[in-house]
């Protein structure tokens, strides 16, 4: 399919020399035909883009006028980014790119005739094919990160996506240039972080970013975390604990089917549901990383013990601020804030001598559709305190409570959000009440009593209201 399309594109653009470049060539050699096709040419790309769009039935628009980048979007989801060479020649263009594996080119007309790895026709001035086979991310030049500091984050993200390693000299350049990240727009940083979190097992690269001081550059809040509670968590303090919880969350997310077999399908759909364009699990990972961000500000020695009273409230406020700084949507900010705020609740609930249906219902009601996210984040946090071999065996009260609540949420929805037995108008009419906050209060109470099985029909609901709200009804 891809090669047929490339053949067609080549015929349309003839006789202009056009090259396949960048990540598309990298992925093609790896055997993956990406739907994002990068093309480069020495000519003005605008007219070519229009011609391509018209013939293929897509739309063309300018992405970056200054750098001459035009996009052609096809109805089937395939898109071409057609760019003018970054420099006078193709070779100069390739040398101005970020990493060797992204700095290879293929003449478009050849690509449709030969097959990967395109021996003899591949244009590879920086040794990209060697680095690709050695699974190595190597900066094209010493200027690579100075030319665009976002590439620092791209290095870790691409390494995580491809399962590659960043070679030592490139890592040294990353450390040398990390302060330049301050110059990058927060939106671009956010996008890179979210793309990194989309990788199932991103922790190794995240840890590397932390060791290289990159995360501290992006998130100064992590520095006091590193200094807090070292005697408790060891070197790296609360920050080390947060990375550990992050790693466990990734493990949980990667094994949902096995861990929650009774409700695997809806739970997986839940974590994969897009929130502002990225799967929910990337936001859960971010929430995990920040769940204890409030600890440094609240740490206090009380009776010889280090305590962090209300760190979840302080942390929720800080989380929202951090997400605002990176221009996350208000939905993402609210969700992450709510999860951080609630991360202690399942643990507190699990230690109660009796966990009532009412307490479980209230958790679901307060957290709404962030309840599952909060449970998973809280579980990963809890498991950092459980010896590795005993984790996820459903032996601790917290683990057992999590399983019970996840199953209840998906399998017993009538207990989570029962169908309305009675509406506000009926309540007002029956008890001669005028509109006001009391009606909402009654409705919530009715729902709660229904969820815990006290009432199950409208008649019972009315008698129950009469009894419970006697004083207010008169
Ligand atoms: N590029 C670069 N520096 C950047 C961004 C991109 O040199 N900061 C170059 C790389 O050669 C890259 C190509 O432009 O391969 C295309 O960019 P883009 O589509 O953003 O990256 P891909 O590598 O294709 O991968 P992804 O879409 O996952 O970012």
Mean pLDDT (the chain, rounded): 94
**What average pLDDT does the segment 88-99 reach?**
97
| Closest CA relative to residue 35, chosen from 69, 74, 79 | 79
Does residue 17 have a pLDDT over 80? yes
Which pLDDT band holds residue 318 (cuts at 50, 70, 90)? Answer: very high
Find all residues with CB under 8 Å of 77, minimum gap 6, and list them: 35
Instruction: Please state the pTM of the whole predicted model.
Output: 0.92
Percent of the chain residues past pLDDT 90, beyond the cut: 86
Q: What gap in Å lies between CA 111 and CA 114, rounded to an integer?
A: 6
Is residue 98 in contact with ligand 1, taking CB distance under 6 Å? yes
CATH number at residue 188: 1.10.110.30
Does residue 66 have a pLDDT over 90? no
Whether residues 56 and 201 fall in one domain: no
Is residue 237 in contact with ligand 1, taking CB distance under 6 Å? no
Whether residues 23 and 106 fall in one domain: yes
Give the pLDDT score at 420. 86
Q: Ligand 1: distance of its center to the CA of 63 in Å?
A: 14
Q: Ligand 1: distance of its center to the CA of 23 in Å?
A: 6
pLDDT of 171-209, one tens digit each?
999 999 999 999 999 999 999 999 999 999 999 999 999
Is residue 150 in contact with ligand 1, taking CB distance under 6 Å? yes
b/e 98-107 (16+ beta carbons within 10 angstroms → b): bbbbbbbbbb
The pair of structure tokens assigned to 89 is: 């020649």
The pair of structure tokens assigned to 346 is: 């399942």
**What average pLDDT does the segment 319-342 reach?**
98
Find all residues with CB under 8 Å of 5, minimum gap 6, and list them: 78
Which pLDDT band holds residue 1 (cuts at 50, 70, 90)? Answer: low
Give the pLDDT score at 120. 86
Whether residues 158 and 54 fall in one domain: no
Contact by Cβ (8 Å): 152, 214: yes
What residue numbers bound the domain in which 451 lies? 424-468
- Tally of domains within the chain: 4
Whether residues 193 and 318 fall in one domain: no
Q: What gap in Å lies between CA 262 and CA 259, rounded to an integer?
A: 9
Whether residues 257 and 367 fall in one domain: yes
Whether residues 274 and 140 fall in one domain: no
Residue 230 belongs to some domain of the structure: yes
């Amino acid at each position: 399919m891809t090669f047929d399309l490339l053949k067609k594109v080549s015929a349309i653009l003839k006789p202009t020399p056009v090259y396949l470049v960048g990540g598309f060539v990298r992925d093609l050699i790896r055997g993956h035909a990406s739907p994002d096709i990068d093309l480069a040419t020495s000519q003005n790309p605008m007219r070519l883009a229009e011609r391509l769009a018209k013939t293929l039935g897509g739309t063309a628009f300018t992405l970056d006028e200054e750098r001459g980048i035009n996009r052609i979007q096809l109805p089937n989801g395939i898109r071409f980014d057609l760019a003018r060479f970054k420099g006078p020649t193709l070779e100069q263009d390739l040398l101005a790119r970020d990493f060797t594996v992204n700095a290879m080119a293929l003449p478009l007309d050849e690509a449709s005739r030969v097959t990967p790895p395109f021996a003899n026709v591949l244009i590879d001035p920086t040794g990209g094919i060697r680095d690709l086979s050695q699974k190595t991310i190597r900066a094209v030049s010493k200027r690579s990160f100075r030319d665009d500091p976002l590439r620092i984050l791209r290095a870790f993200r691409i390494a995580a996506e491809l399962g590659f390693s960043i070679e030592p000299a490139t890592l040294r350049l990353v450390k040398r240039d990390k302060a330049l990240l301050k110059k990058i727009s927060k939106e671009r940083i956010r996008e890179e972080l979210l793309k990194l979190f989309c990788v199932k097992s991103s922790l190794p690269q995240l840890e590397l970013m932390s060791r290289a001081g990159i995360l501290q550059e992006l998130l100064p809040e992590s520095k006091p975390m590193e200094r807090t509670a070292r005697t408790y968590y060891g070197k790296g303090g609360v920050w080390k604990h947060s990375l550990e919880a992050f790693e466990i969350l990734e493990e949980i997310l990667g094994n949902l089917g096995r861990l929650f077999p009774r409700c695997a399908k809806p739970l997986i759909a839940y974590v994969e549901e897009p929130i502002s364009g990225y799967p929910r699990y990337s936001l859960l990972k971010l929430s995990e990383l920040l769940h204890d961000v409030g600890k440094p500000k609240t740490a206090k020695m009380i009776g010889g013990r280090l305590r962090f009273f209300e760190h979840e409230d302080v942390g929720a406020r800080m989380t929202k601020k951090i997400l605002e700084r990176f221009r996350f949507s208000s939905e993402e900010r609210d969700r992450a804030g709510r999860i951080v705020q609630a991360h202690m609740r399942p643990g507190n609930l699990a230690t109660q001598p009796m966990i009532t249906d009412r307490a479980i219902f209230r958790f679901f009601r307060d957290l709404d559709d962030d309840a599952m996210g909060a449970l998973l984040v809280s579980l990963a946090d809890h498991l950092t305190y459980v010896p590795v071999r005993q984790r996820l065996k459903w032996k601790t009260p917290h683990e057992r409570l999590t399983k019970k609540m996840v199953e209840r949420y998906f399998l017993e929805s009538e207990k989570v959000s029962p169908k309305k037995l009675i509406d506000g108008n009926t309540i007002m009419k029956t008890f001669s009440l005028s509109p006001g906050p009391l009606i909402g209060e009654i409705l919530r109470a009715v729902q709660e009593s229904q969820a815990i099985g006290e009432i199950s029909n409208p008649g019972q609901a009315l008698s129950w209201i009469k009894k419970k709200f006697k004083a207010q009804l008169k």
